[in-house]
Amino acid sequence: MLPQEIMRRVREIQLRTGKPVADVLAGEYVSAFRGSGIEFDEVRPYHAGDDIRSIDWNVTARTGEPYVKRYVEERQLTLMLMADVSASQDFGSQTRSKRECVAELCALLAFSATRNDDKVGLLLFHGEVEQYIPPRKGQRHALRVVREVLSHGEDVDPLPTPPTRFRDWIKGLGRRRFREARQSTHISRAIQYFLSVHKRKCVVFVVSDFIDQDFEKALRSAHRKHDVIGVLITDPRELAIPDIGLVSLEDPETGERRVVDAGSKSFREHVIRAGEERVIKLRTRLATSGIDLIHVDASGSVVEPLVRFFRDREKRARR
């Protein structure tokens, strides 16, 4: 995709998401994540007049002297967006692909954070970690986040055959490795990288179709330190298929092809059951680790699922 086309799509997303951010999401975002407004800072010796409820009894027992926990006002939230850019995200049967849906969702979250003077970071992953952008403030930085989600993988073209220069060969080799990495999804590897570069607590949105295996342990490990939220992006044709007779299906990551009879009622019912079970199973597995899941239909609204999530979280915080 040409840079001009990428920027045009970035501007479209900015215009489309601007009003929802201003009217709905900004307030809901603050209510969902600000909590008590204080965070732990340090342990210091007890002074006369300190509230005895702030005494750290573990440290006091170890040292033999009274110590209290000191808290400071939470002035800034750090939002980390982990976006899946594997080949399966390029699929779209309606007006937009799952990748474009991911970009719009990241835009909503990034602009909401920017409006509240919070930092936003981005980590793009597939079979490997493709790019890490450290958290920063500002609308220009938020626009960069959206642009990177849209642009990655768009410039992959065939290898030159034969290579005319050594640097052409090296460039082609890099593209080939990128294509190979995009043929898989490795959420655990992305989580491990994130934990190695980001130590301070932040809110982490893992945005993916979760077509992967054995990633729950890594998410659970990250959730012990950070506030992890899963965002499942699906296309309607992944959960149900119309009666269109014989059709050839191809897995965008493995390249495996299969001809199926979509005219068969039993096959269509099987697809629906399998789709429902996948969503329910993912939600259940994440819930056992205390991780919320937002399910977003790539053909529908991105705002509504986010608003429901923010409001549900605020209600739980009040209990």
Q: What is the pLDDT of residue 280?
A: 96
HEC string of 69-90 equals EEEEECCCCEEEEEEECCHHHH
Q: Distance between the two ends of the chain, CA-based, in angstroms?
A: 49
Between CA 97 and CA 91 the distance in angstroms is: 5
**Residue 260: how many CB atoms within 10 A of its CB?**
16
Phi/psi at 295 (nearest 5 deg)?
-105, 120
As a whole number of angstroms, the distance between CA 92 and CA 308 comes to: 24
Q: Is 163 helix (H, G, I), strand (E, B) or coil?
A: coil
Alpha-carbon distance 258 to 22, whole Å? Answer: 46
What does the pLDDT read at residue 160? 40
DSSP string, 187-233: HHHHHHHHHHH--S--EEEEEE----SS-HHHHHHHHHHSEEEEEEE
pLDDT in tens, the chain (319 residues): 545 776 777 777 777 777 777 677 777 877 777 644 566 668 889 988 888 888 999 999 999 999 998 875 555 789 999 999 998 998 888 888 999 999 999 988 998 888 888 899 999 999 999 999 999 998 889 888 888 888 875 544 433 444 444 445 444 544 454 455 567 899 999 999 999 998 888 999 999 999 999 999 999 999 999 999 999 999 999 999 889 899 888 887 777 888 988 899 999 999 999 999 999 999 999 999 999 999 999 999 898 999 999 989 888 877 6
3-37+76-318 CATH choice from 3.20.20.80, 2.40.100.10, 3.40.50.410, 3.40.630.20: 3.40.50.410
pLDDT recorded at residue 249: 84
Nearest one of 238, 273, 210, 263 to 91, comparing CA atoms: 238
- Provide the 3-class DSSP secondary structure of residue 95: coil
Q: What angle do CA 22, 28, 29 make, to 5 degrees?
A: 85
Q: What are phi and psi of 154, to 5 degrees?
A: -75, -20
Secondary structure element (H or E) that encloses residue 267, with its range: helix 265-287
- What are the residue boundaries of the structural domains of the chain, listed by start? 3-37+76-318, 38-73
Tokens representing 96? 């937009």
Q: How far apart are CA 85 and CA 306, in angstroms?
A: 21
* Kind of pairing between the strands at 129-136 and 119-125: antiparallel
Q: Which residues contact 213 (CB under 8 A, 6 or more apart)?
A: none
